[in-house]
């Protein structure tokens, strides 16, 4: 993750610069590697960078060769190599950054540029010639993004990765809606992500489940997200979703490592993009870059869905956390032993969790009970992971929303209600699990990537007849996802997971980390909030009055 702050149309941008830099510094935890800013006309872009791709050359804000377009991005563009080859107009790339493709896409397509991106992103682009700002957020809202205005600077519009950047300078702040693009020319937000399943939730899909397509699309999604020039790992709770992601990632890494070893044995310099891949200005070759060392190569997925990477990992690192004897931690160890990952099973105490609450709320910028319960262990785990030198992790968010995996989906009266609830949950991910995953990890300069929310995978999974997803006496929750990766009838295929993990009943995350965690939060609230406090709500709460002591 990175952190961005921007202001367009400020009446005195030079005088505002020191404030803008201070607002950017408020999200330096998201991007501890470098800071940059650009002023053009009356617009300022501030960027705090976490370097994962284009480590040597990708400092931001990015500026085109003519100095007329500047860009600040938080996120990853997985199809940047493909976009570079498909551009109609010549463009001189100054960096290997995956994000730079947004500039020529804007030049060619204007506010339609986000439609061509495959990734997770929030960005602000300024066109100096037109004195125009265009800003966009990824289709599901995996990256957090906000916009604001101030009565003190009418006409100005502000953007930031977190609320804490906007609160001191804006008196009106909104969450930038996922799948939308803002254009200062019209001062309007427009939806660019318009799949039928999302914009017409009452139109119930009828496509039969294709287990092979479901499997290959998720595998492709994980492969894309291995695009990195720095050490990475996987979050492994022992549940179905994170275990599948870990299994696919492990297979891909073993395949790449095997190809590299074979190439070395045969004296070939470069195979499947492992050692020699296309650079910015033509072909570059050479030996593989050691782990943790930046490269001048262009990493990512190409048109043939082959991954070019500089990461030759001896072992995939996996991470879990829980209270002592937590159910998820035990299951995670089983999955890790089977997959052969280098597993790190951390524990935390109830006191650790309670001590972290104020920090968790500061970073999450929400008081939502469920989100805070689940975020606290993830926040503590992220700190441990970053301390080990890992900068990116894969995570399993989104699967429960897509496949109706929560236990209350048992009560769905029919497939129409089931599908519409799935759509509602996916639409709201940016307020819940995406916010949790993004901000819990970004608090420590760690990036979380979520393969289940891949645009192509969503298109496949959300267009399956919801009758196939429903929970019945013969079908456990997320049956079709489990079935897609069940190789019982494929003797030539190595199983993805042991049966007791592939068909494991879901645990709620807060329970899975240890059953005492939620009870401890409730008990702590009982000690600190009196019945009298509950009867006298604070004026600043307005209509948002907590209905429990924990809230």
Which CATH number describes the domain made up of 205-265+294-467? 3.40.50.620
Return per-residue pLDDT of the chain as tens, 551 residues: 799 999 999 999 999 999 999 999 999 999 999 999 999 999 999 999 999 988 888 789 999 999 999 999 999 999 999 999 999 999 999 999 999 999 999 999 999 999 999 999 999 999 999 999 999 999 999 999 999 999 999 999 999 999 999 999 999 999 999 999 999 999 999 999 999 999 999 999 999 999 999 999 999 999 999 999 989 999 999 999 999 999 999 999 998 888 777 777 787 654 344 333 333 333 222 333 343 444 456 788 787 777 766 555 568 999 999 999 998 999 999 999 999 999 999 999 999 999 999 999 999 999 999 999 999 999 999 999 999 999 999 999 999 999 999 989 999 999 999 999 999 999 999 999 999 999 999 999 999 999 999 999 999 999 999 999 999 999 999 999 999 999 999 999 999 999 999 998 876 555 668 779 999 999 999 999 999 999 999 999 899 999 999 99
pLDDT at 313: 59
Nearest one of 213, 550, 240, 234 to 406, comparing CA atoms: 240
> Residues 246, 236: contact at Cβ < 8 Å?
yes
pLDDT at 508: 57
pLDDT at 510: 52
pLDDT at 296: 53
Distances (CA, A) of 81 to 216, 286, 300, 301: 21, 19, 6, 7
Query: Phi first, then psi: what are they for 3, rounded to 5°?
Result: -125, 135
Q: Give the residue numbers marked as catalytic.
A: 2
Nearest one of 49, 5, 45 to 24, comparing CA atoms: 5
| Dist CA 348 CA 378 (whole Å) | 11
- How is residue 94 written in tokens? 């100054």
pLDDT at 291: 39
Question: Does CATH number 1.10.8.60 belong to domain 3-194?
Answer: no
| Dist CA 241 CA 160 (whole Å) | 31
Query: Phi first, then psi: what are they for 310, rounded to 5°?
Result: -105, 5
Nearest one of 234, 453, 251, 240 to 328, comparing CA atoms: 240
Q: Where are the domains of the chain?
A: 3-194, 205-265+294-467
Question: Would you give the DSSP letter of residue 117?
Answer: -
- How is residue 262 written in tokens? 């074979």
With 0-12 / 13-18 / 19 or more C-beta atoms within 10 angstroms meaning exposed / middle / buried, residue 468 is: middle
| pTM for the predicted model, two decimal places | 0.92
pLDDT at 507: 62
pLDDT at 420: 98
Assign 199 to helix, strand or coil: helix
pLDDT at 297: 64
> Residues 95, 101: contact at Cβ < 8 Å?
no
Is the alpha carbon torsion for 453, 454, 457, 463 positive or negative?
positive
Nearest one of 370, 425, 435 to 402, comparing CA atoms: 425
Is the alpha carbon torsion for 181, 183, 184, 187 positive or negative?
negative
């Amino acid at each position: 993750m990175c952190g961005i702050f921007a202001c367009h149309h400020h009446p005195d941008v030079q005088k505002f610069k020191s404030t803008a830099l201070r607002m950017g510094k408020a999200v330096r935890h998201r991007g501890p590697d470098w800071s940059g800013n650009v002023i053009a006309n009356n617009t300022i872009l501030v960027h705090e960078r976490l370097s994962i791709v284009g480590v040597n050359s990708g400092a931001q804000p990015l500026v085109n060769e003519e100095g007329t377009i500047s860009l600040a991005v938080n996120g990853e563009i997985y199809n940047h190599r493909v976009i570079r080859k498909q551009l109609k107009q010549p463009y001189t790339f100054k960096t290997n950054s995956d994000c730079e493709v947004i500039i020529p896409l804007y030049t060619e397509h204007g506010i339609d540029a986000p439609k061509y991106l495959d990734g997770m992103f929030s960005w602000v682009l300024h066109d100096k010639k037109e004195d125009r700002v265009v800003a966009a957020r990824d289709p599901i809202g995996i990256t957090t993004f906000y916009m604001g205005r101030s009565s003190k600077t009418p006409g100005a519009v502000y953007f930031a990765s977190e609320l804490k950047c906007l609160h001191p300078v804006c008196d009106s702040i909104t969450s930038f809606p996922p799948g939308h693009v803002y254009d200062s020319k019209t001062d309007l937000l427009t939806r660019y992500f318009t799949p039928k399943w999302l914009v017409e939730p009452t139109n119930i899909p009828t496509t039969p489940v294709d287990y092979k397509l479901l499997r290959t699309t998720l595998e492709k999604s994980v492969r894309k997200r291995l695009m990195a020039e720095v050490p990475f790992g996987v979050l492994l709770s022992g549940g179905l979703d994170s275990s599948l992601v870990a299994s696919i990632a492990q297979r891909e890494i073993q395949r790449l490592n095997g190809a590299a070893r074979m190439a070395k044995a045969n004296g070939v310099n470069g195979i499947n993009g492992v050692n020699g891949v296309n650079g910015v200005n033509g072909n570059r070759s050479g030996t593989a870059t050691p782990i943790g060392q930046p490269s001048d190569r262009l990493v990512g997925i190409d048109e043939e869905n082959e991954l070019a990477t500089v990461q030759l990992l001896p072992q995939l690192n996996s991470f879990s956390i829980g209270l002592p004897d937590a159910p998820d931690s035990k299951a995670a160890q089983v999955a890790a032993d089977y997959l052969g990952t280098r597993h790190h099973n951390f524990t935390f105490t109830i006191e650790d969790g309670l001590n972290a609450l104020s920090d968790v709320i500061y970073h999450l910028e929400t008081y939502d009970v469920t989100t805070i319960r689940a975020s606290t262990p993830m926040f503590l785990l992220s700190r441990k992971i970053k301390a080990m030198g890992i900068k990116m992790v894969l995570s399993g968010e989104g699967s429960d929303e897509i496949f109706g995996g929560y236990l209350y989906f048992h009560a769905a009266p029919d497939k129409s209600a089931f599908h519409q609830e799935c759509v509602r949950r996916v639409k709201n991910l940016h307020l819940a699990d995406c916010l949790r995953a993004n901000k819990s990890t970004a608090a420590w300069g760690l990036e979380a990537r979520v393969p289940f929310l891949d645009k192509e995978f969503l298109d496949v999974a959300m267009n399956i007849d919801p009758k196939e997803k429903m929970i019945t006496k013969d079908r456990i929750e997320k049956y079709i996802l489990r079935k897609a990766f069940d190789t019982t009838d494929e003797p030539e295929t190595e199983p993805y997971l042991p049966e007791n993990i592939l068909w494991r009943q879901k645990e709620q995350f807060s329970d899975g980390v240890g059953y005492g965690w939620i009870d401890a939060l409730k008990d702590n609230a009982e000690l600190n909030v009196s019945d009298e406090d509950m009867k006298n709500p604070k004026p600043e709460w307005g209509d948002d009055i907590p209905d429990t002591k924990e809230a």
